[in-house]
Amino acid sequence: MSTFPKNLLEGYQNFLDGTYSQRSDRYKELALKGQNPETLVIACCDSRAAPEIVFDSGPGEIFVLRNVANLVPPYNAEGRYRSSVAAIEFAVVSLGVRHIVVMGHGRCGGVAAALDERRKALDEGDAIGHWISLLDPAIEAAAKGGESSSCDHAHDPGAGKEASEADLRRTAVERMSVSKSIGNLRTFPYVRDREESGALTLHGAWFDISEGVLWVYDPDNETFAPALER
């Protein structure tokens, strides 16, 4: 008897009956011609913030890189960060995406872990610890109260609870890390060249999972604002 998760098989059946049967021509076309997505979305692994669901994207529409806390390492980072760098290189250089969206989200466990005062000193086997140490510049900048860390109306308290000091701090770091990741993208020579020529545009966003609100980063004044009136 198969031990494959039953809920996944049920979901797959729904996909076959729904999305796949409605869009089978598109899937066949993509199989024959290859993918040509216009946008790379860099998002967290978190099960509550899937870009294809948030953006209601169809097959072939967005190229997605997901990692813990939606981080972009600096281009010249150590080898342990290279899988994310490889995905970015493939999207930009091989696929020629025209947009990169770094999307953070509320209640990010990766950010919460980086802020945890009980965080231990790094040892070689601590993959998550090494990875989330990439958040240190965002934690530092948020502590200094940069504009992009402003959390007015963005406390994502959930279930009607008041935002605690810890919630506000986490939100500030979640947002600051988006702008830091955009800064790190500009350390990639092929990203910088394409941005300067106008072939590529970088964007930041933050998804409030409790209210479903997408906040978009405004680089001119380093703040976030809701993407749409609701």
Q: CB-wise, 2 or 47, nearer to Zn ion?
A: 47
Q: CB-wise, 108 or 151, nearer to Zn ion?
A: 108
Identify residue 106 by its one-letter amino acid code.
G
Residue 44 DSSP code: E
How far is it, in rounded angstroms, from Cα 162 to Cα 99? Answer: 36
| Count of other CB atoms within 10 angstroms of residue 4 | 8
Q: CB-wise, 60 or 110, nearer to Zn ion?
A: 110
CB contact at 8 A, 112 and 225: no
CB of 133 to Zn ion, least distance (A): 16
H-helix or E-strand containing 217?
A: strand 213-218
CB of 148 to Zn ion, least distance (A): 17
Go through the chain and tell me how many residues it has: 230
Q: CB-wise, 67 or 92, nearer to Zn ion?
A: 67
Rg of the chain's alpha carbons, rounded to an integer?
19
Q: CB-wise, 88 or 114, nearer to Zn ion?
A: 114
151 is in an annotated binding site: no
CB of 110 to Zn ion, least distance (A): 5
105 is in an annotated binding site: yes
Identify residue 155 by its one-letter amino acid code.
H
Calculate the CA 172 to chain-centre distance. Answer: 15
CB of 190 to Zn ion, least distance (A): 27
108 is in an annotated binding site: yes
Residues that bind Zn ion in the complex, under the rule CB under 5 A: 44, 46, 108, 110
CB of 224 to Zn ion, least distance (A): 16
What dihedral do alpha carbons 178, 132, 44, 73 form, nearest 10°? 60
Residues tagged in the binding site annotation for Zn(2+): 44, 46, 105, 108
Residues tagged in the binding site annotation: 44, 46, 105, 108
